[in-house]
Amino acid sequence: MHRFSFSLVIVLGTAFAGSSATAAEMPTDAQKEAIRSDCRDDFIKHCTGVEPGGLPALECLESHMADLSAACQAAVKPVEAETGTGG
């Protein structure tokens, strides 16, 4: 029983440490809302099949940056610069 508890603490500690680092790199609520409102049509056009709202969605928009509307580009660029996900 002791070994199991110790292992669980290590696994949970590692998971939370990883999630806090990820949270620091994620867009703010205001940035997410800007992307949601300014990129809806662009997302539908360029990212069909990608689950909305997560890192893959942001990466998809970034990968189509040149094809996005000006408003969407303006919403994505600050997030891209902060998270370092652009490519």
Q: What are phi and psi of 16, to 5 degrees?
A: -70, -35
Structural domain span for residue 20: 2-83
pLDDT digits (tens, 9 = 90+) for 60-74: 999 999 999 999 999
Total of domains in the chain: 1
> Cβ neighbours of residue 25 under 8 Å, at least 6 residues apart?
82, 83, 84
For residue 82, CA distances in Å to 9, 10, 26, 46, 63 come to 32, 30, 8, 23, 16
The pTM for the full model equals 0.66
pLDDT digits (tens, 9 = 90+) for 25-53: 678 999 999 999 999 999 999 999 999 98
